[in-house]
């Protein structure tokens, strides 16, 4: 059940429009730096966002990797399902 919560949280952070608007607003006002670009780039990928949010919440590298791989599997299933239609 914990993995479902972590995956849902990663999706919510990545897809929630007001959060994206706020992140874009902050990004446009910060001086460009490679580290900042990596941080904001990780918010655009569901796998990356799930990994980092799971790592920040659980402090468990194992749970973060497993939840990220589960997201990868869900994306593969979704792409395969969409090709069949």
Q: What is the pLDDT of residues 8-26, one digit of tens each?
A: 999 998 888 888 888 888 8
Q: Which two tokens stand for residue 29?
A: 């006002």
pLDDT value of position 13:
87
- The pLDDT tens digits of the residues spanning 26-50 come to 888 887 888 878 888 878 889 999 9
> For position 19, what pLDDT does the model report?
83
Contacts 24+ apart (CB under 8 A), 14-23: 14/43, 14/44, 14/45, 14/46, 14/49, 14/50, 15/46
Q: Tokens at residue 19, please?
A: 């959060």
Predicted confidence at residue 82, as pLDDT, reads 77
Name the pLDDT band for 55 (thresholds 50, 70, 90).
Answer: very high
CA 60, 7, 42, 45 torsion-angle sign: positive
Query: Can you tell me the distance from the alpha carbon of 64 to that of 7, in angstroms, rounded to the nearest whole number?
Result: 10
């Amino acid at each position: 059940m914990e993995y479902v919560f972590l995956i849902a949280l990663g999706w919510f952070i990545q897809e929630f429009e007001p959060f994206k608007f706020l992140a874009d607003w902050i990004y446009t006002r910060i001086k460009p730096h490679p580290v900042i670009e990596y941080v904001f780039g990780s918010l655009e990928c569901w796998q990356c966002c799930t990994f980092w949010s799971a790592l920040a919440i659980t402090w468990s590298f194992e749970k973060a990797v497993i939840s990220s791989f589960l997201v990868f599997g869900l994306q593969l299933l979704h792409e395969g399902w969409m090709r069949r239609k």
